[in-house]
């Protein structure tokens, strides 16, 4: 293995490139924009910065968020005090920091667009706007709008979500999350350095309808759209069937981040999975004990065992969360009420936000130590209705 091409310079690609270059491989990153702003992202959970401490041990400007306010329907907001802060970067600043780390490690950055990848006997020929390049191996980090159809995830019906909203001048200390009836998603108000990101995401509604619902919410909250920049973005949100057939690796290529569909189907969070998959891709490529033809399977195993199985389970959970009803109300409303009334459920929500609680382990955690009070009996019944699995009260 001599030369690796990383197609895409976002967080997944730049982190993989840093790891590969630091280990001594000739690494080149192709991206037509390099660092750029992405409006519906920038939040790093405790799970991310605890795994990769340089994400908090740096001088790049960011917000430290210690409280989120959840609301649903007519149920007023309930504050969730985070045991560990959520870091909120500008995506431009975060991406630029990761690219500089890759460059300092020895990776070459090429600001150009990749037009095609052509398989050769022992590698790839990569055609760009500036010419052609050869590589022994490719890391596909093209994001959700992957133009290279022969590599990366293959989206089907119901495997994407739409996120849209506004950059709004202003500031606030907390994150606000509002669930709406009939929406398989939510509205957010996200404080970022220099502005607020106010947006909505969902899968089953048109962009026009979602924008109307967002603007009605903003009007009710006295958040003006005057002078605010509008944005829209498509992001992966794989169905359970989509996860089962997800294509994340092949002959001498590995896909990472959004290009591999590695986004939480419940929350839309993707930064941790972008960086983690970039880490795993570099490990698989650098492992001399694994033959080139076996690296795809080694990478799939790393992803599945670490977080892939959990995200597949979350895809099952998503349909139940947004569409089921419980005691004459929808599930998000009941979740907000349980967060307010149950210390056990509140602690669970804190750990979900921090990223330290898996979806697979949700039910077993809450069932342990359930006492015979009426409130906890209702909570136990709610969890059995909501969470798939063989465990029964």
Q: How confident is the model at residue 240 (pLDDT cuts 50, 70, 90)?
A: confident
User: What is the pLDDT at residue 111?
Assistant: 93
* 287 in Cβ contact with 295 (< 8 Å): yes
Q: How confident is the model at residue 393 (pLDDT cuts 50, 70, 90)?
A: very low
Secondary structure element (H or E) that encloses residue 78, with its range = strand 75-88
Q: How confident is the model at residue 226 (pLDDT cuts 50, 70, 90)?
A: confident
User: Encoding tokens for residue 61?
Assistant: 């400007």
Domain 3-37+91-156+239-314, what fold?
Answer: FAD/NAD(P)-binding domain (3.50.50)
376 vs 131, more confident: 131
| Distance of alpha carbon 38 from alpha carbon 274, whole angstroms | 14
Domain 160-236, what fold?
Answer: D-Amino Acid Oxidase; Chain A, domain 2 (3.30.9)
| Distance of alpha carbon 186 from alpha carbon 264, whole angstroms | 14
pTM of the predicted model as reported, rounded to 2 decimal places:
0.91
Domain segments of the chain as ranges: 3-37+91-156+239-314, 160-236, 325-386
Give first-to-last CA distance, the chain, whole Å. Answer: 53
pLDDT, mean of residues 7-14 = 95
pLDDT tens for residues 58-115? 999 999 999 999 999 888 899 999 989 999 998 889 999 999 999 999 999 999 999 9
Q: How confident is the model at residue 233 (pLDDT cuts 50, 70, 90)?
A: confident
Helices (H) and strands (E) in the chain, counts: 12, 19
From 242, 218, 252, select the one nearest 139 (Cα to Cα): 252
pLDDT, the chain, mean: 88
């Amino acid at each position: 293995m001599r030369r690796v091409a990383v197609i895409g310079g976002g967080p997944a690609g730049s982190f993989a490139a840093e790891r590969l270059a630091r280990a001594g491989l000739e690494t080149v990153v192709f991206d037509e924009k390099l660092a750029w702003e992405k409006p519906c992202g920038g939040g790093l959970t405790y799970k991310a910065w605890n795994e990769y401490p340089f994400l908090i041990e740096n001088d790049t400007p960011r917000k430290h968020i210690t409280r989120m306010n959840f609301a649903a329907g007519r149920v007023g907001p309930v504050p969730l005090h985070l045991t560990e802060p959520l870091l909120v970067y500008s995506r431009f600043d975060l991406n630029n920091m990761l690219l500089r780390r890759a460059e300092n490690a020895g990776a070459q950055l090429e600001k150009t667009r990749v037009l095609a990848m052509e398989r050769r006997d022992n590698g790839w020929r990569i055609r760009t706007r500036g010419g052609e390049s050869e590589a022994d191996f490719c890391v596909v980090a093209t994001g959700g709008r992957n133009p290279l159809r022969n590599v990366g995830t293959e989206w089907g019906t119901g495997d994407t979500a739409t996120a849209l909203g506004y950059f709004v001048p202003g500031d606030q200390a907390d994150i606000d999350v509002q669930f709406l009836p009939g929406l398989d998603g939510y509205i957010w108000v996200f404080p970022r350095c220099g502005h607020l990101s106010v947006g909505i995401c969902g899968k089953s509604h048109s962009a026009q309808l979602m924008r109307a619902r967002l603007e009605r919410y903003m009007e009710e909250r006295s958040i003006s759209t005057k002078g605010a920049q509008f944005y829209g973005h498509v992001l992966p949100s794989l169905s359970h069937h989509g996860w089962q057939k997800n294509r994340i690796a092949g002959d001498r290529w590995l896909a990472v981040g959004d290009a591999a569909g590695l986004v939480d189907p419940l929350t839309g969070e993707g930064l941790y999975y972008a960086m983690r998959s970039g880490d795993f891709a570099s490990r698989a490529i650098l492992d001399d004990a694994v033959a080139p033809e076996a690296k795809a399977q080694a990478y799939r195993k790393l992803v599945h065992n670490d977080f892939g199985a959990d995200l597949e389970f979350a895809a099952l959970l998503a349909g139940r969360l947004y569409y089921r009803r419980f005691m004459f109300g929808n599930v998000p409303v009941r979740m907000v009420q349980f967060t307010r009334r149950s210390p056990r459920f509140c602690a669970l929500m804190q750990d979900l936000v921090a990223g330290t609680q898996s979806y697979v382990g949700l039910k077993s955690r809450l069932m342990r130590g359930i006492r015979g009070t009426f409130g906890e009996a209702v909570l136990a019944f709610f969890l059995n209705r909501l969470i798939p699995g063989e465990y029964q009260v």
